[in-house]
Amino acid sequence: MNSLRKLRKEKGLSQQNLAELLAVNQTAVSQWERGITTPSSRMLLKLSQIFSVNPCELLNDAGVTSAHQWDDPEIMEAVRESLPAQISGLNDVLKGCPAQEQKLTFDILVQLRYVLELKDTAKRMTALSMLHDVAAAVEHLAGEEK
């Protein structure tokens, strides 16, 4: 997983530092980076949170199809468990944003809630796919500034 090595180095972490953050041994991190093993679903989610990247980026780099991984009950449980922390982190970031950015973010969240409440499954999935595609494009644009 070349991207894991790159992300780790960009953050100034040694393999040992990352291992300590994840509560695993350094050998596991080394094996992930060399492609010998793949992190568990829960570890992929933790890695994505540490490096503020989409877990799919790490999955794609590992040659794993994201659809398979997202159907994994373990990763879905980890996603549900981390949701309050993600929302809290968003709130913390928003506090430092100008009022206009806070309002735009609020509008996006209201629309997301509306989409999630759609009864028509096909419409809901279409809308979520569209939002996902836009989010990926925005993530790519933001990544160009790093």
Residues 8, 49, single domain; the answer is yes
Residue 17 lies in a domain: yes
Number of domains, the chain: 2
Residues with Cβ < 8 Å from 118, sequence gap 6 or more? 124, 127
**What pLDDT shows up at residue 61?**
58
Distance CA 112, CA 124 (A): 10
Give, to the nearest 10 degrees, the angle between helix 99-116 and helix 121-144: 150
DSSP code at position 13: -
**What pLDDT shows up at residue 105?**
94
**What pLDDT shows up at residue 21?**
92
**What pLDDT shows up at residue 67?**
46
**What pLDDT shows up at residue 139?**
73
Single-letter code of the amino acid located at 132: H
Q: For residues 124 and 115, is the Cβ–Cβ distance under 8 A?
A: yes
Residue 25's domain is classified under what CATH number?
Answer: 1.10.260.40
Q: 């060399």: which residue's tokens? A: 34
**What pLDDT shows up at residue 79?**
74
Residue 142 tokens, joined:
């933001």
Residue 90 lies in a domain: no
How many residues comprise the chain? 146
Query: How do the pLDDT tens digits run along the chain, 146 residues long?
Result: 668 888 899 999 999 999 999 999 999 999 888 888 888 877 888 898 888 887 767 766 554 444 445 566 766 777 777 788 888 889 999 999 999 999 999 999 999 999 999 999 999 999 998 998 888 788 777 766 54
